[in-house]
A = this chain, B = another copy of it.
Amino acid sequence: MKGAEKIFAEVALEISPMPAEAKREKEFALEICRILEKNLKGEGVECAFVGSAARDTGLKGDNDLDLFVQFPRDKSEDYIVKKTFEAARKIPGEWVTHYAEHPYLQAQLGAFKVEVIPCFRMAANGELKSAVDRSPLHMAYLQEKLTPPQRRDVRLLKKLLKTAGIYGAEISIEGFSGLLCEYLILNYRNLETLIESAAKWKAPVFVDLEGFYIDSTQPEFDAPLVLIDAIDKKRNVAAVLSETNFHKFVSLCQAFRRRQSRDFFFRPATKAPSRNEVAKKLKARGTHFLLLSFGKPELVEDILVPQLRKTASAITREMRAAGFGVVDYAYYAANNCGVLLELASSQRPSVELVQGPPVREEAACVNFSKAHSAALRGPFVKGDRIFVEERVTERSAKKFLSGLLKDARALGVGANLSAPLKGAAVLEDAELNSVSDDEAAELWKYLSARDYWL
Contacts and interface: CB of A to CB of B under 8 A. Distances in A.
Interface of A: 199-203, 243-244, 247-248, 250-251, 254, 258, 285-287, 323, 325, 327-328, 344-345, 348-351, 353, 359-360, 362, 365-366, 369, 376-386, 389, 447-451, 454
Nearest to A281: B376
Nearest to A379: B454
B349 A345 contact: yes
B360 A344 contact: no
Nearest to A285: B351
Given A243-B384, A247-B359, A359-B251, A328 B344 contact: no
B353 A344 contact: no
A350 B285 contact: yes
A438 B378 CA distance: 23
A261 to B, nearest CB: 16
Contacts of A199: 362
B344 A251 contact: no
A398 to B, nearest CB: 17
B359 A250 contact: yes
A381 B247 contact: yes
A323 to B, nearest CB: 7
B378 A254 contact: no
A379 B203 CA distance: 21
A349 B327 CA distance: 8
Contact of A377 (B201, B247, B448): B448
Nearest to A366: B258
Contact of A353 (B254, B285, B328, B369): B328
A295 to B, nearest CB: 29
Contact of A345 (B200, B345, B379, B384): B345
A248 B366 CA distance: 14
Contact of A376 (B285, B365, B451): B285
A286 B327 CA distance: 22
Given A323-B344, A448-B377, A449-B377, A350 B287 contact: yes
B243 A454 contact: no
A124 to B, nearest CB: 34
Nearest to A376: B285
